[in-house]
Amino acid sequence: MEGSVLHYDEKKKKGIIRNLVGERINFSATQWKSNSIIQMGVLVDFIYENEVAMEIYELKPMVTPRFVNRINALFSIKIHNKFGAYASAILFISLFLPIANIEFLGFRGPSAIIERTVGKAVFFITVITFILYYGGATRLYTRIMSFLIISFILFMHYDLLAFPNNSLSFNTFFKTLNSYYDWGAIINVFGCVLLLCAMVKKGYDRNMYAI
């Protein structure tokens, strides 16, 4: 069985290994068979016996895993960051919901984000963001993608609000908001708030084998 050293207490000579599916397994320093010093984050091979790790050896890969392998690691059976993945899923669904009351403007036009030109780009970015949160990619990547989604969507909302009067002022904001917005906009904005929280949320579960 393989995993990585999640925690090690030098004084107690005990630590915790997390295997590839996220399970945490206790171990004792007496079972460390390699000549190297026990360090957090190192990859190890061990035998799982009596609910503890036995005969632990440090793995030192000769080469860095190929990019394709790191991409494949994103599609594990475990959801590494549920909050971010669920927020992305909610935003994905909201792309297909009506956000604008097109009859108010007196013309036939797109009412959902996916039907707008920029909506196609948001669609693909949202799918990629979901995969990155799901697979535990480097947090910098998830934050960049989340920022792009929120920026695109807020820009489209501003464009929708400003369109009836060719500008957006404080006096016309609430009148336009009440007359023009549709129910799907609430879910869309709610998804953006959740994704923003996922960006700054503590306790991100990083998948060491993914990009």
pLDDT surpassing 60 at residue 179: no
Mean pLDDT of the region 139-151: 87
pLDDT bracket for residue 173 (50, 70, 90):
low
| Residue-level pLDDT at 104 | 42
pLDDT surpassing 80 at residue 114: no
Mean pLDDT of the region 90-115: 67
Phi and psi angles of residue 97, each rounded to the nearest 5 degrees, phi first: -90, 150
| Residue-level pLDDT at 105 | 46
| Residue-level pLDDT at 107 | 44
Range ranked top by mean pLDDT from 110-119, 143-152, 201-210: 143-152
Distance from C-alpha of 62 to C-alpha of 46, rounded to nearest angstrom: 19
pLDDT surpassing 80 at residue 138: yes
- What amino acid is encoded at 50 in this protein? N
Range ranked top by mean pLDDT from 73-77, 113-117, 183-187, 197-201: 197-201
Range ranked top by mean pLDDT from 62-66, 106-110, 197-201: 197-201
More confident: 66 or 59 = 59
Mean pLDDT of the region 44-60: 87
Residues with Cβ < 8 Å from 137, sequence gap 6 or more? 74, 131, 207, 210, 211
More confident: 159 or 13 = 13
Distance from C-alpha of 74 to C-alpha of 121, rounded to nearest angstrom: 21
Mean pLDDT of the region 25-54: 87
